[in-house]
Chains A and B, each alone.
Chain A
């Protein structure tokens, strides 16, 4: 049995942001934590905005939860009024013990996953998340590695082999897995190019600092430069908190 995976889905409520239904259906294999946030400028006290917008925000949030449930998912919800959405996303991701944070982009369908893997990234965490969300045989998974020169190709293939084995152990069909190692001096661009042929990107966090690893990092820049949603697999906040 795959472990339960908790996915944080930040939604800019009251601004018309839509989470695509295929994506919701895909994420519904885990538990969805909807973080509805409303970002307000500093001229305004959060409580001031709250008084005025809370009912409308609750309404929109209820609609979203209904959609998630109608697609077979379970959702927890948080509603936050904030000056800084990034700080809020970090805080709630930690408090709600989420394994993955969604950087949303439109998605027509979710059938092809790409999982860029690099050294020093928690293979175990990525395998847990990918296997929990992709038991479905209709989902193809590309494990992807960028080597900066030819000498790194063999190591990259080994790395992807490890990830692949981990996934198979966790119940993913080997037929659905493919591996790809590319040589490029611009890894970010290589990921963006490869992501063109995929629907969803799953990648790990990099930096040990909360702010650094969630934002302004490769994952965020990838999300800005592709049309696909990015799922950022969080590192454990404190190693001994995890089983």
Chain B
């Protein structure tokens, strides 16, 4: 049994107004490699190993960066979109390192919400928690739209004349239908899907590595191909940054590993490895994807293929079999990203309900299926509404906006916790380069928001304001143990 106890408080909302005990030692248990033992003696098994953690991170992320964004990003920034993806990876790494420290100090469900509420208090926590819930709703909707576009591309490939149904909004219909299906499976499905998820991610990585390796060698001219000659930054420097802001959605997955921190085996080792590792894996894949894609067609032509541009890239390199493989991969990747986001979002709601920032019944688990049906419904419902009305770019940017605010605040929370150094704060992984890394992480996260479209910024701010209003109206009396209250 390891010594890394964490003693972060639970909520004491039953008697609002009473002073909080300065001792945060509420029953949060002792962390060992494979289990958390609560003080009541009850044990919570840890069942997600490093491979599972990486699969969650990679599986959540690859859906967007490779299968939705290349065409859009190249249209905005040209071949320099690869730099935009690299910027995203650097920001994600700057945040993943502090997140790893926080997660090893607080290996509990809830991720960003939990860290910020314990570091900075219930008000910040409420805004972030609600922001994360809705941010993941936007992300799920974005992935579902991507899924629908791949489904359409499959129809086109097998020759189903979808164009003749031109009057019907097929993409929203497919996206909504699949969104309802995924939510239903989450509520009623009791088969454990970890192995399936691991298998899907391995298959995806296999397809991508073959495709990108061949594409890279071909782009380098090894097979006699001539790449389309093009200026590296045809649309200027600013567009590199706006594109980085747009495609940052491709990195909203590493922190999902932290939302299941309570279930990761050997958390002090596996949490940092899973988070940093998944960012590195997808970051490299994204940059190569852009190089290969723009090498095949040139960015202007690539942009005309829209969200499923990568299918045409695969076709140009590997012919029909390549296109089929990437279509299948695209369906799997967007579906797995959507599914992972829906599940994470429901975890965020649970963490809020546990602290009574939203009504506790939202976190109820039904005995028959053992699933949090209300929380899942509160994720799936808004998601399909957004699928029906949303545009890819705006969905992606709002999702990124809400996550970036959380990421920035997580970096701040780390600095606050390091400075106040409460007795329970004993991370087993410490961020290298403190305080530079978390400060840069916070600045970069907040800075990227500036480069988004005004509409996305407005929606993001509106969500944050609505969350603050909710907090003031509903949950102002909530006191979290383990947090210094200045009241």
In the complex, the answer to whether B370 meets A44 with C-beta atoms within 8 Å is yes
Shortest Cβ gap from B160 to chain A (Å)? 33
In the complex, the answer to whether B43 meets A45 with C-beta atoms within 8 Å is no
In the complex, the answer to whether B347 meets A45 with C-beta atoms within 8 Å is yes
List A residues 43-78 near B (Cβ within 8 Å).
43-54, 78
In the complex, the answer to whether A91 meets B42 with C-beta atoms within 8 Å is no
Interface-lining segment among A82-90, A105-113, A129-137 = A82-90
Shortest Cβ gap from A176 to chain B (Å)? 39
Give the nearest-CB partner of B194 in chain A.
Answer: A42
* Contact A48 B363, CB 8 Å, known A79-B43, A83-B45: yes
List B residues 184-236 near A (Cβ within 8 Å).
186-187, 189-194
Give the nearest-CB partner of B197 in chain A.
Answer: A42
Q: What secondary structure prevails in chain A residues at the interface with B?
A: mixed
Shortest Cβ gap from B46 to chain A (Å)? 9
Shortest Cβ gap from A95 to chain B (Å)? 9
In the complex, the answer to whether B34 meets A52 with C-beta atoms within 8 Å is no
In the complex, the answer to whether B42 meets A44 with C-beta atoms within 8 Å is no
B108 at the A/B interface (Cβ < 8 Å)?
yes
Shortest Cβ gap from A42 to chain B (Å)? 6
Shortest Cβ gap from B50 to chain A (Å)? 15
In the complex, the answer to whether A54 meets B42 with C-beta atoms within 8 Å is yes
In the complex, the answer to whether A42 meets B192 with C-beta atoms within 8 Å is yes
Interface size on B, residues (CB 8 A): 38
A41 at the A/B interface (Cβ < 8 Å)?
yes
B35 at the A/B interface (Cβ < 8 Å)?
yes
* Contact A45 B109, CB 8 Å, known A81-B44, A84-B47: yes
Cα distance, A52 to B369, chains bound together (Å): 14
B376 at the A/B interface (Cβ < 8 Å)?
yes
Chain A residues with Cβ under 8 A from B192's Cβ?
41-42, 83-84
Among B43, B363, B367, B372, point to the contact of A81 (Cβ < 8 A): B43
Which bracket fits the contact residues of A? 20 to 34
Chain B residues with Cβ under 8 A from A82's Cβ?
44-45, 47
A102 at the A/B interface (Cβ < 8 Å)?
no
Chain A residues with Cβ under 8 A from B363's Cβ?
48, 51
List A residues 188-236 near B (Cβ within 8 Å).
none
Cα distance, A82 to B370, chains bound together (Å): 12
B112 at the A/B interface (Cβ < 8 Å)?
no
Among A42, A43, A80, A91, point to the contact of B44 (Cβ < 8 A): A80
Chain B residues with Cβ under 8 A from A181's Cβ?
none
Cα distance, A45 to B347, chains bound together (Å): 7
Query: What 16 new A-B contacts, CB under 8 Å, besides A42-B343, A47-B354?
Result: A39-B370, A41-B369, A42-B192, A43-B187, A43-B376, A46-B262, A49-B365, A52-B365, A53-B365, A79-B43, A80-B45, A81-B43, A81-B44, A81-B45, A87-B34, A91-B35
Instruction: Report A's interface with B, CB cutoff 8 A.
Output: 14, 39-54, 78-84, 87-88, 91
User: What are 21 sample pairs from A and B whose C-beta atoms fall under 8 A apart?
Assistant: A41-B370, A42-B193, A43-B186, A43-B371, A43-B372, A44-B371, A45-B109, A45-B260, A47-B108, A47-B109, A48-B109, A48-B354, A78-B43, A79-B42, A80-B35, A80-B45, A81-B43, A81-B44, A82-B47, A87-B45, A91-B45
